[in-house]
């Protein structure tokens, strides 16, 4: 089990000793949460007593200490004043920077651990449901450095799909904008194979796909792909991605807002059976009216 021990040294300043950390990943966010809990325990205060001193609600402070949310810099500064410290705000800044450092922000690990996933895709087939040929075609549009980089990218995407199979497959609910099945690769064989893959996926008991038709009109996620991920700990996090950036969202209020947006879109989507018929119709259209790939 991981254990963090903080110490204050006049010469070395704030430092920490990490013991038995081989089985856990240490993050700035987890250190921030643990340090807040340690400081309150050190002062012998309840959450209510701390809330009275810093003018924040008990529930808010509880979520900070358990890692449920990162909170604001203002809250970290207020806690520094209450505790008579100066490192709480610095830890908050480290945690904030950590979240921004990577485009995927730990997403791959979170996705692999998820027990259930709800996903909305605007223009491309979800990576978890892509064929190898479709993945290669899509990744080529980013103009990879060389063929090895491309091959590694395709392999990584294919490996992600392992979570949908096995003894305890992840429950997956996909919501696809109609443009996903209309804007497909130019190669007719790749198009047909991908549509067949989606149709086959819908036969799996852990996978459901619904299509949001064009007639649903404009909506709040028109330029954003979204994943909602339920974790074994009971927490739910979100991952949002645009053409140029991606971000893992862990704040409870933000995740709840994204869940509401997803539910609102699903209310306007075709039912699973109607979506299956649309996919089959699209496949028939591509088979009967193939378009030769451009050279």
Task: Give pLDDT tens digits for 163-214.
Answer: 999 888 999 999 999 999 998 898 999 999 999 999 999 999 999 999 999 9
| Dihedral pair phi/psi, residue 184, rounded to 5° | -115, 165
Question: What value does the mean pLDDT of the chain take?
Answer: 85
Contact between 165 and 110 under an 8 Å Cβ cutoff? The reply is no
| Residues paired with 210 in a beta bridge | 175
**pTM passes above 0.85:** no
Question: Which pLDDT tens digit goes with each residue over 41-78?
Answer: 999 999 999 999 999 999 889 989 988 778 889 999 99
Question: Which pLDDT tens digit goes with each residue over 139-154?
Answer: 998 888 899 989 999 9
Angle CA 204–207–212, to nearest 5: 130
Distance, CA of 91 to chain centre: 23
Q: Which residue has the tokens 């299956």?
A: 276
Confidence category of residue 8, pLDDT binned at 50, 70, 90 = very low
Q: Residue 34: its pLDDT value, please?
A: 94
Question: Which pLDDT tens digit goes with each residue over 263-291?
Answer: 999 999 999 999 999 999 999 987 776 65
Taking 90 as the threshold, does the pLDDT of residue 102 lie above it?
A: no
Give just the sign of the alpha carbon dihedral 284, 287, 290, 294: positive
Nearest to 154 by CA among 141, 169, 167: 141
Domains of the chain, earliest start first:
3-101 (1.10.260.40), 107-131+157-288 (3.30.870.10)
Stretch 86-96: mean pLDDT: 92
- Sheet containing 236-241: which strands, arranged edge to edge? 207-212, 171-177, 116-121, 225-230, 236-241, 246-249
Q: Residue 16: its pLDDT value, please?
A: 38
Q: What percent of the chain has pLDDT over 90?
A: 61
Q: Could you give the dihedral angle defined by the CA atoms of residues 280, 284, 285 and 286, in that order, rounded to the nearest 10 degrees?
A: 100
Q: Residue 216: its pLDDT value, please?
A: 93
Q: Please state, in angstroms and rounded to a whole number, the distance separating the CA atoms of residues 43 and 24.
A: 28
Confidence category of residue 106, pLDDT binned at 50, 70, 90 = low
């Amino acid at each position: 089990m991981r254990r963090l021990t903080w110490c204050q040294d006049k010469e070395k300043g704030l430092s920490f000793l990490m013991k038995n950390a081989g089985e856990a990943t240490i993050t700035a966010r987890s250190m921030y949460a643990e340090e807040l809990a340690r400081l309150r325990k050190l002062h012998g205060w309840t959450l209510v007593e701390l809330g009275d001193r810093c003018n924040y609600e008990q529930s808010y402070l509880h979520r900070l200490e358990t890692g449920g949310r990162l909170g604001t810099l203002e809250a970290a500064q207020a806690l520094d004043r209450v505790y008579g410290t100066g490192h709480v705000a610095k830890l908050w800044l480290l945690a904030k920077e950590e979240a921004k450092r990577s485009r995927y922000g730990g997403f791959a690990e979170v996705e692999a651990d998820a027990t259930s996933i709800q996903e909305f895709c605007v223009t491309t087939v979800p990576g978890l449901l892509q064929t190898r040929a479709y993945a290669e075609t899509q990744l080529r549009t980013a103009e990879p450095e060389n063929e090895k980089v491309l091959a590694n990218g395709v392999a990584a995407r294919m490996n992600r799909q392992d979570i949908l199979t096995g003894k305890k497959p992840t429950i997956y609910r996909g919501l696809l904008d109609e443009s996903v099945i209309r804007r497909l690769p130019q190669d007719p064989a790749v198009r047909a194979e991908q549509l067949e893959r989606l149709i086959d996926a819908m036969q799996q008991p852990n996978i459901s796909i619904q299509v949001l038709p064009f007639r649903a009109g404009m909506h709040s996620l028109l330029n954003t792909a979204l994943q909602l991920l339920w974790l074994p700990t009971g927490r739910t996090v979100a991952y949002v991605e645009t053409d140029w950036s991606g971000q893992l969202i862990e704040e409870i209020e933000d995740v709840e807002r994204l869940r509401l947006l997803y539910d609102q879109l699903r209310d306007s989507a075709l039912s699973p059976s109607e979506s299956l018929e649309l996919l089959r119709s699209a496949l028939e259209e591509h088979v009967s009216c193939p378009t030769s790939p451009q050279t």
